[in-house]
Each structure stands twice: as C-alpha cells, then as structure tokens.
A and B are shown apart, each in its own frame.
Chain A
C-alpha cells in the first residue's frame, strides 16, 4: 500500500486518496482546514477519492486519519459529451 509518506511532492498530483463509502460520508460537508471543505469525487472505476492536497493540508483533528489513506493513481471519470467541445 502506498501512502503520502512514500511519494515525492512532485508525484502527488497523479495520485488520489482512496475512501470507503463510509469514509466518504464522514468527510462530505466537513472542513479539512480553515475555509476549505473536503470534496470526495468518484473516479473512472467509481471509487470515492480525495486529492492529495486535502490529505496533506488537513489540520482538522477529527479527520487526520486522511493522511494515512492508501493512494491510487488518479483515473478521472470520462467527461460527459456535453457541454460539447467546439
């Protein structure tokens, strides 16, 4: 399992933290640091994930466990066809 401690800062953008459904529900609507809210999204395989920035910059004592989430390579969900590309 890869975690934040195992990767270099320049590699962080290609990874996301993997959440369980229950963890996603815990984080939704919660602050991870001053004036910034968690935003769990689904990747192409419908995994719930958060960005490495939310993990790295989390200072909310109730959610410091996000720093130990397993990392996976970010595979974005394909965008719907609309709004269309011109």
Chain B
C-alpha cells in the first residue's frame, strides 16, 4: 500500500509571503488565511507590494498576532514588528487605541527607510469620533517640524496630513464629517502631496517643501514627539489596517483602497 501526499495540503496560500505571515502570526482561521492570501496577491497584482515598507493587517485578535509586519513577519525590531505600549484593546476587528496612553511603535525610522518627499501613510478607521487634538499615526518635533503624520477627524471635523512641512505651515487638510473609512496620505515629490479617503483624492498641494524625514520611529495611535522622547496626542480610532511606504500615484491609491476594502469585506469588518 502506498500513500500519495498532496504537497499543497499544508500550504495555506500559493503566495510564499502570505504563508510566512500566516505562520508567524499563528493565523488558524480559514477565512482569515484566505483574506491575507488574497490581500498579498492583490497588492502584488497592482504593483503596490514593492512600494510598501511595512503593512499591518491587524489579523487575529491579540497583540501577539497584530504585531507582525506583512512585508517581513520576523519578530524583530529590524522587521518593523510593532511594540505596543499602554492600554488599548485587540480584537478580530483590529487594534483600538484608548486615547489615554496607548500606541504602537513601528520601529520604522523614516530617515533610514524612506526617501525624502516620497512616502505614504495609510490607516483604516472603524471608529467615527472627533477628539479635540489627536494623531492616528505620526512622528515629528513638539513644534511640529519634520512631521510625517496623519489624523482623520478632530473636533473641528478636519482630517490632516503632514510630510516634509512644519505642521503649522502647508499642512493639507479637508473637512471630514465621518471618520470611518480608509485614509491615505501620499507625497510623490517635494511639490506634490495628496490626501485620499476611500481611494479618492480629497485635497492636493503643490507648495515646495524643504523639511526632511525625521530621524525617529513612526507611531500608530499617537504622535512620536521625538525631540521630547515621548508619545503624545493619543488617538482613539480602531485601526483595521495601516501601512507605510513610498509615495503612491492616484491610480495606486485607488487600487490600494480596492485591495484593502476587499480584505476587510472578507473578514466581515468593512466600513
């Protein structure tokens, strides 16, 4: 008697990157595995995968599962694996910072990893609220210089994106009455910045910028005031996806939304 072993039986996905993440994060749920598999395939099909430095899909329901970077799922600072601080909570719907003292350190130093005037920051928000002043992800000085940051909705119903500019000068912002959805700030040149909601550009700016990327890590759920060595402006919007990478074109931003929304829909947590 002989047995034929199906070589694909223990392979979760035909994509090696997706499989590596699934194994590292201990994702055992079939739907979650399929969602990760399709997300990676979609990002590669759209040509976005290679532009990303860190992708946090927040798949699973614990800090241990949420900490992994889809691009490099090693449990190392050098792989930009998240380190969680403070309260907040983790569930199958994502990471919910508490707006009091919680954030995640990406360990991704912008000046070492990204090119000046080419980056994108994205955040999928499952919460509609409007704190007085918060940042959903960011880094910069206490005065807002060298800021690379993104906020989605504050008490004045404004969303804003800073990169290569002082926060007090040339911030791009738009009126936002509902903070649910997928937000993506992108800079592709020192005179081209855009802020997208659900893949659609909301605001553009062509002013020439001069500030450089900060020599510090970007935080999710807070702003890294790196000159004061502290987190501040804690956010409180549930995050179901976040990414950091090179600047995206309009088409790429729209395709990123399509891929991320499909991922959320598969998981039943789309907004």
Contact = CB atoms under 8 A, between A and B. Distances in A.
A37 B232 CA distance: 16
Contacts of A34: 62-64
A51 B168 contact: no
Contacts of B173: 86
Contacts, number: 91
Contacts of B76: none
Nearest to B96: A53
Contacts of B101: 39-41, 49-51
A82 B103 CA distance: 19
Contacts of A38: 85-86
A22 B64 CA distance: 29
B132 A79 contact: yes
Interface string A50-75: 11111001000000000000000010
A9 to B, nearest CB: 11
B64 A51 contact: no
B198 to A, nearest CB: 22
A39 B85 contact: yes
B202 interface: no
B125 to A, nearest CB: 18
Q: What secondary structure prevails in chain B residues at the interface with A? A: loop
Contact of A85 (B64, B83, B154): B154
Contact of B98 (A13, A40, A85): A13
B167 A82 contact: yes
A79 B102 contact: no
A16 interface: yes
A36 interface: yes
Interface string B41-69: 00000000000000000000011100100
B196 interface: no
Nearest to A54: B87
Contacts of A53: 86-89, 98, 102
In the complex, which of the residues A40, A76, A83 has the most CB atoms of chain B within 10 Å of its own CB atom?
A83
A80 B87 contact: no
Nearest to B225: A80
B156 interface: yes
A36 B96 CA distance: 13
Interface stretch (B31-39, B116-124, B140-148, B251-259): B140-148
B215 interface: no
B102 A39 contact: yes
Contacts of A16: 100
5 contacts: A35-B64, A35-B83, A41-B86, A41-B100, A53-B89
Interface of B: 62-64, 67, 83-89, 98, 100-103, 132-133, 140, 142-144, 147, 149, 154, 156, 158, 160, 162, 167-168, 171, 173, 223, 231-233
